Structure 1
């Protein structure tokens, strides 16, 4: 009888121990799971904010009037709309083709933006600057013009968008051959200065290299596509400086109007430091949308091929030149000859590899 009671007691104790251990295990598992969930949420918020913007908001948490680019992957929720209407936050621009907003807001709001599921990425509305052609003969353009099956490959009927500092409209290089008609068929200003000419001078030079008729030089410096129509989209101001939001406005306009002007080529001899991965960079993503729509996009590599000591450097290709869908162009030293056997990369031209990156929650950079 005593043995039976003792057996029952041991059985009861074993059952209680098992239940307690299971409960404790569940509690420990729940705590670990909750901790992992919090860590994962923090990591997701972290990855949605560009590293330079995150650092700026931490360094100056009370700063107001930060200009940022907010990319969305869905329609804004009621909660996000409420935040965007709160004090200190203003929506400066909307880019309908890219589901992206340009905002001005206090630094204290930055981290909270990352908590919204519809927010894809938040980055600085950075400065965009001009980046500094030789003759059609040394580039090979003269050789391929005769290869067209239905006539010369001279750009006739094709629209080329020059996204730059504007174009001097009265320059004879942009006249249709034998007429007084300008081939600049559309000009739009995105700088806010209310002008589309070229006080800075860079865009006129770029447009001539792309589509100049060679009249001034007697045909020695003819553009690559001398009969193409030119669409002048001014995104750099009188000092040669623009912004990501201004450039996005021009690319958004292109998405809406590319068919109206048969725009087949976009040239951006400009850029900004490649801080964010091309997978998140708003200009890269917008450029890719244009490529997907059938537009060929060119961008400058940059002018950071050597350091202050004159030493060759690598990994300083600018955005949007870092995007794989963009044709990125460096500078060539032709030695003043038409042959290409003596050509070399100009010392100042930026070289690869691309060094844009994602930064994880512990500060480790993952390069593209």
Structure 2
């Protein structure tokens, strides 16, 4: 079900790029994000042309969107948008439309795109009033609303593939959609299938022949004997090629990993259930709890920096602002000032009095208990982590 083509690193790891302090969420696959950006640009260009009272053809749309996104823009992208957000646009095949840079009128059919400004989504009716509603121009709030709805629809599609992945695990995981706060670690986010392409209006069909059998059916009785025999031979050979049986591959269970041979099946099932329980707790963990877990992982390094600071300063108390700046400069990761303050408050709550804050003359100072053993401090950090994971 999932694709396995090799992708560039900036696409495979795009969901790991988050700004400091940003809460975890459900990122979209890279190709879905690109489609969302194309949808935003399509809305912008189509609305701008409607304000100018110009007919938005696919040629105009393609040129403008490619300049905005620096990516190719094809007919199939519109078909995918129609699948994600049905009736977001009204598509027609029209002819006798003036060109972009000249005043000539082209007789060939062209695909026209028009933003559907009606909120009810009812079927189109005949009449001037309905036509005026259809031709209404979207304002900025409507464009933002449409983009948000398109984003939600893309996330719902990703949720469906994620749910299929959870049910295929051993043992399967049954988690309500509203409780899933992050994707499963083994879920190939950028391996989900492409959005299916909806059917867009096509130009009126002209009589055409694609196979020899089509020519025989259309010109029966009007061909010479020699031409008749040649076409019949070509048609029969095409039928024989199309009737070749296709070998099906599937239904064979995967062999057991040689590294697992000799291990009890009950033990393997117990390990799988424990792993499934851990993954389920990771997926449904609250963002606030996730943030506290990140603080616990940074706590040992912050405690070492803080202890070294007090040893170097040889003071019983250090001003709060100085401690915040020193921790921010010395920590390996880039922490904002308010993030360092949150870490200090969390350490004061969870380390059992090792760190304290006093206020003297409206100025805050930080104190630590230098007599506390490092092993006791490490045990307190581990206990805090266990409580958050429970």
Could you state the TM-score of these two structures normalised by the residue count of structure 1?
A: 0.19
Q: Taking structure 2 as the reference length, what is the TM-score of the superposition?
A: 0.18
Q: Which has the higher helix share?
A: 2
Larger radius of gyration: 2
